[in-house]
Structure 1
Amino acid sequence: MGLSSLFFRTYLKAKSNRWYWLFSIFCRVVLAYAFIVAGFVKIIGERFASGLSILHPMGAYLEALHHTGFYYTFIGYAQVAAAILLIIPRTVFLGALIYFPIILNICILSIAVRFEGSLVTSPLMVLANLFLLVWHYNKLQFLLPIKSRLDMLHVGKSKKYSNKFPWLFSLFVIACVAFTVVVARFGYDFRPRNSLKDCKKQFVNTINEEKGIEFCQCIHINGSTLDQCLEEYNNKH
């Protein structure tokens, strides 16, 4: 049996399972809620994460983004539009397509500046978005550089669902969540954190306490870039 046939059989089996279907609804609702909240803040003109200092790498980015005028508002409308499309059953696939590049950008940004506010949530949202895209693979296949199967085009909501609980898939989801949390918690030696006080805490009673405090001051008092502060930290003996 080829990989294509195996995937096709697995896909059909998943589409006819009630638990996979319920998980797809859960992903839609959670993703939609997140973007409606974030998008509404931008539409009304408020700065997202307004409590974060502009000296913080993420705070500086959000502050600059806030001052881009109608571009900032456009992002808000795009987020809300993607969320609404996710909620409507007939437009879920379109919503997932619009949603993906936005959340992927947020995820990469969060990792790049070590922003703990979304180090866990953004990767999990990317994975949830990917699940929805795969869930609608019967449509997605026509956008990929592969040979499309026309017999998959009309694979939709099953008339009779299987109630067999997908234990293996559930364990995979739990493992993904656990891995994301562990990487976010221990993937970096240290992070800027969201305030000078919290930043200093991670260095207290360590061999790098003095260097660490200087790193925190570099971020939260001097307002230097993360790369500059990391370079100064690494150059100190």
Structure 2
Amino acid sequence: MEQLLQSVKIGINEKIYVKDPQSSDLGKRIIEESILMINTMGFESFTFKKLGLKIGSNESSIYRYFENKHKLLLYLTSWYWGWLEYQLVFSTNSMADPIEKLKKAIEIVTKPTEEDSAFSHINEVLLNKIIINEYSKSYLTKEVDTENKEGYFVIYKRLVNRLSAMIKFVDTKYGYPSSLASTVLEGSLHQHFLKDHFTSLTDCRENGDPTEYFTQLVFNSLNTEPNG
């Protein structure tokens, strides 16, 4: 899978950026350093001025790639969901058993992230931490409906739809496949957040990671009998 991913480019909605950061060394440095800085200081404290000082470039050069830091966050979150989608597709594509395929998919989208050497300028482990802590800030805005119509969240929605389709394949009569799929994705972020910050509010630390919890949650909701 690693060799396959080395030839893959994560496609991001062109409306999110002014210039594709993957197209130049400076653009890749902007992505690389912004991940490090947002992880360290948080999205609220992060600014393009601070980023410019860090990479030794004018603040104006960053604006040639992104209109504002909100668009940069949308780019980072879209890239993460696209990367996770590739992990899911390549890991489950050859699996014939729908139950085992769904279990593997749940594992992929809920397990702790490991760094992927196929993308040297992106630290996926730190990006995952940003997703856990900051993702909701990309859509809890007044502009969310407009941005949704512009396709800014299409990769995330596509990932939910892939998981929803797997759920429906296991239990065709289950009435809430999309609700369950989005609950797994959003809930996994929340459980990882609780493990890091509010440990008394989650059982995942003592009784296994979120993967075990969401696997139980999904399959306790479904009828897996052949004639179900």
For Structure 1 versus Structure 2, the TM-score category normalised by the shorter chain is: under 0.3
TM-score w.r.t. length of structure 2: 0.26
Larger Rg: 1
TM-score w.r.t. length of structure 1: 0.25
